[in-house]
Amino acid sequence: MSSNHIDRRTVLAATTALGAAAVMPGSASAQGTAAPSGGALPARGDFVIRGAHVLTMDRDLGDLASGEVHVRNGEIVAVGVATNAPGAEVIDGKGMICLPGFVDTHWHHWTTLLRPVMQADDPKKTYFPVTFAFGVHYTPEDSYRAVRLGLAQAVAAGVTTTHNWAHNVRSPAHADAEVRAMRDGGLRGRFAYGPALGMPNDKPMDLADIARMKKEIGNDPMLTLGICSRNVDGNTGGTRGAIDAAMAKKEWSAARELGLPITLHTSGTGAVKLLNEAGLLGPDLQLVHPLNTEPADWEALAKHGVRYSVSPLGEAGRSGEMQFPEIMQAGVKASISIDNVTAERCDCFACMRMMQTINRHRTGGKFKLTTKKLVQMATIEGAEDLGFADRIGSLTPGKRADLILVRTGEPHMGDIGDPYDALVQLAQPSDVDTVVVDGRILRRKGAFTALDYGKLLSDAAQSIAALKQKANWS
């Protein structure tokens, strides 16, 4: 588009600057640590995307069949049919859908290293036995490498915000390593500080170090802190740890005193009832895996403003019904999560498609779950779940620039009709052309702009070799 078009532009300019920050205060260089493995982050630029089908996910701005998005120094400065962006680099968005980056709301990044030792059809080598056998031997460096690898897979698939559900924090150094990896990886996210795998159920998490981490993260605009709790469902077995209501009260009230949100797995029966009776439900609580719940649970969750994260790819392979239609119908808000990339891949398109399919299969379409709603769940509603909606989740002037471009021309998509249908029913991660996080272009034309992915892979291979020896794995 030439500059002549600017005269008849309709520009929606920024009126406020939300969450603006040019520097990440906790970046590796600011901390005086070594240069990050895999390369430094690219600088924030001044660029305008032109000619894309823009899905703003902003209820007022709506969609633009051929629109422009101007980004400068990490901020979305204008969105419209045409924008006034002299001097800005032009990114041709023709044939592409531009939308906010995907927001994952639950992902155990520390397990990412372990894919090479998994074997789907050998019960001794599936997710739970492998993660437990290896997890107890993790060094902080293993944690760092795993998170970096997970974040790279996230970026490649268009995920720009992640909830790092770290349920194997073996020491303060492990926590530091995971947070450093998140900063070096350049994604936005919440670090959910968890227990150490295998720790005694009658011992609390390291609450003093969680308080230290709260100060360390401070007001970093890219990162927030929460906790992930061990299971609270009346059972005391299991490799992941299971605590009683008294321990949950102790840990959760310490987190709540610090203003930290809480997340918890609840794939068994009874957890919601127990939490409700213990007075532990609240709007700062996110539950994961709505399987095997009951109508009374849905009512309690809606009443207390509790949210649910749905991991469709994993849940579809587990026993029990995937109940996201029931909980959503009851008024409980739900978001979408990857969970792990050892047994599945990072693929938000497949997550949305799986939810559409399961909903039709289970309800015959009686519960209306449109393709647009699914894309909302994967973007703005995920941002709401994690408390980032003031900064990201929609292409709104004044928000930070977390966005992706998805190509539509490949044979499996062809000449698309409805863009939401295309994203849910046709697209795949390899269609993600460009990924921008906080104004940094981390991926362009389907390739990393600065990241040395080969280095991350070779580092991961080193960790796996050492962990195999420690775990006496054959």
Interface positions with Zn ion (CB under 5 A): 339
Q: Write down the least CB distance from residue 109 to Zn ion, Å.
A: 11
Strands laid side by side in the 102-103 sheet: 102-103, 159-166, 188-193, 223-228, 262-265, 285-288, 307-310, 334-336
Nearest Cα to Cα of residue 346 among 337, 359, 357: 337
Q: Smaller CB distance to Zn ion: residue 341 or 405?
A: 341
Nearest Cα to Cα of residue 189 among 155, 141, 212: 155
Q: Write down the least CB distance from residue 264 to Zn ion, Å.
A: 10
Is the distance from CB of 439 to CB of 69 less than 8 angstroms? no
CA atoms within 13 A on the CB side of 431: 24
8-state DSSP, 317: T
What is the Cα–Cα distance from 299 to 330, expressed in whole angstroms? 7
Q: Smaller CB distance to Zn ion: residue 176 or 339?
A: 339
Q: Smaller CB distance to Zn ion: residue 339 or 381?
A: 339
Q: Write down the least CB distance from residue 7 to Zn ion, Å.
A: 53
Amino acid identity, position 22: A
Q: Write down the least CB distance from residue 255 to Zn ion, Å.
A: 18
CA atoms within 13 A on the CB side of 18: 18
Main-chain dihedrals φ then ψ at residue 366, nearest 5 degrees: -65, -35
3-state SS class at 103: strand
Q: Smaller CB distance to Zn ion: residue 339 or 385?
A: 339
Q: Smaller CB distance to Zn ion: residue 165 or 298?
A: 165
Q: Smaller CB distance to Zn ion: residue 289 or 400?
A: 289
Q: Write down the least CB distance from residue 456 to Zn ion, Å.
A: 23
Q: Write down the least CB distance from residue 288 to Zn ion, Å.
A: 5
Q: Write down the least CB distance from residue 108 to Zn ion, Å.
A: 6
What is the Cα–Cα distance from 124 to 431, expressed in whole angstroms? 35
3-state SS class at 236: coil
**Could you give the angle at the alpha carbon of 286 between the alpha carbons of 178 and 218, nearest 5°?**
45
Q: Smaller CB distance to Zn ion: residue 98 or 313?
A: 313
Q: Write down the least CB distance from residue 325 to Zn ion, Å.
A: 21
Return the residue nearest Zn ion (CB atom): 339
8-state DSSP, 242: B
Q: Smaller CB distance to Zn ion: residue 184 or 339?
A: 339
Q: Write down the least CB distance from residue 25 to Zn ion, Å.
A: 30
Q: Write down the least CB distance from residue 145 to Zn ion, Å.
A: 20
List Cα–Cα distances, 6 to 10, 46, 71, 250, in angstroms. 8, 17, 17, 60
Report the run of H or E that residue 78 belongs to, with start and end: strand 75-80
Q: Smaller CB distance to Zn ion: residue 224 or 266?
A: 266
What is the Cα–Cα distance from 246 to 270, expressed in whole angstroms? 16
Q: Write down the least CB distance from residue 414 to Zn ion, Å.
A: 36
Residue with tokens 């697209």: 427
Amino acid identity, position 323: Q
Nearest Cα to Cα of residue 111 among 141, 149, 152: 149
What is the Cα–Cα distance from 433 to 252, expressed in whole angstroms? 41
8-state DSSP, 231: B
Q: Smaller CB distance to Zn ion: residue 339 or 433?
A: 339
Q: Write down the least CB distance from residue 203 to Zn ion, Å.
A: 21
Nearest Cα to Cα of residue 145 among 473, 455, 470, 471: 455
What is the Cα–Cα distance from 81 to 379, expressed in whole angstroms? 22
Q: Smaller CB distance to Zn ion: residue 134 or 448?
A: 134
Q: Smaller CB distance to Zn ion: residue 231 or 463?
A: 231
H helices of 157-294, where? Answer: 172-185, 207-217, 245-257, 271-277
